[in-house]
């Protein structure tokens, strides 16, 4: 799972885990890792009967760990059968606020990754446009979570492109083994590129819009595999989209 949150950024995450077998039960375990790759908490094991579902909240692992202010990722393991998992992030029960009150996202858990992913929708509104009370979703910000599927640390190049295919800049993200790294246009240093609005990415002075990111395994680890999600928010609401393998 590319992201796990508890009372962080105003959000909590939840996982819906379904047993894909209609004949055999399984036990599932959730291992939470912080952004340094350290094991933080273990939830489970839970028995899921044939065709049944188990709901998991990141804030409530049954090992009793205090997950307050947690940001990281999760690895969900099934002992016997294949499982299907959908994650969601929503306004935190204890730490939510007006900027996240209508955030109800959904993203897929993925068993396999790739060494190159495409994210065709990337935005970063400048402060004035993002915080304008009349914005109502018109100007957004995109945050990318990259999950390393390797046991060892890797580097991923996040290449930011404008609507015409020009490379605005590259952000190299270091990610611990089986852990999560983050990037966005602000961290990448690409705001105001070309004809873009000052302090923005993907929004242009001629009132057009469009931008994307290609995530590539760094030459130091060219075969490393990873998955990623794109969370795009405006004040109040947001959505998640899985990155797409390019091959």
CATH number assigned to the domain covering 4-108: 2.60.290.11
Report pLDDT for 135: 75
126-168: per-residue pLDDT in tens? 999 988 887 766 799 999 999 999 999 999 999 999 999 999 9
The per-residue pLDDT for range 13-50, each reduced to its tens digit, is 999 999 999 999 999 999 999 998 899 999 999 999 99
Superfamily of domain 116-245 in CATH is TM1070-like (2.60.290.11)
Q: Using a pLDDT cut of 70, give the percent of the chain over it.
A: 99
Inter-CA distances, 204 with 52, 124, 141, 183, 240, Å: 48, 11, 14, 21, 24
Q: Same fold for the domain at 4-108 and the one at 116-245?
A: yes
| Cα gap 68→134, rounded to integer Å | 33
Q: Where are the domains of the chain?
A: 4-108, 116-245
Cβ distance 118 to 243 under 8 Å? yes
Q: Is the dihedral of CA 51, 57, 60, 65 positive or negative?
A: positive
* Residue written as token pair 């209508």: 102
């Amino acid at each position: 799972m590319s992201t796990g949150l508890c009372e962080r950024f105003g959000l909590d995450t939840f996982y819906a885990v379904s047993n894909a077998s209609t004949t055999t039960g399984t036990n599932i375990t959730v291992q939470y890792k912080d952004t340094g790759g350290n094991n933080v908490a273990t939830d489970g094991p839970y028995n899921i009967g044939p065709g049944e579902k188990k709901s998991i909240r990141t804030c409530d692992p049954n090992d009793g760990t205090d997950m307050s202010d947690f940001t990281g990722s999760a690895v969900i393991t099934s002992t016997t059968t294949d499982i299907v998992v959908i994650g969601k992030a929503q306004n935190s029960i204890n730490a939510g606020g007006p900027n996240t009150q209508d955030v109800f996202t959904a993203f897929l858990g993925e068993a396999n990754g790739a060494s190159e992913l495409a994210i065709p929708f990337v935005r970063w509104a400048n402060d004035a446009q993002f915080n304008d009370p009349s914005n109502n979703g018109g100007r957004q910000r995109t945050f990318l979570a990259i999950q390393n599927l390797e046991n060892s640390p890797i580097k991923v190049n996040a290449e930011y492109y404008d609507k015409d295919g020009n490379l605005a800049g590259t952000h190299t993200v270091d990610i611990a083994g089986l852990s999560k790294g983050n990037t966005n246009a602000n961290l990448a240093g690409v705001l105001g590129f070309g004809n873009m609005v000052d302090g923005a990415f993907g929004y242009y002075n001629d009132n057009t819009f469009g931008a994307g990111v290609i995530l590539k395994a760094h030459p130091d680890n060219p075969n490393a595999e990873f998955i990623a999600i794109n969370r795009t928010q405006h004040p109040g609401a947001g959505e998640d989209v899985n990155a797409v393998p390019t091959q």
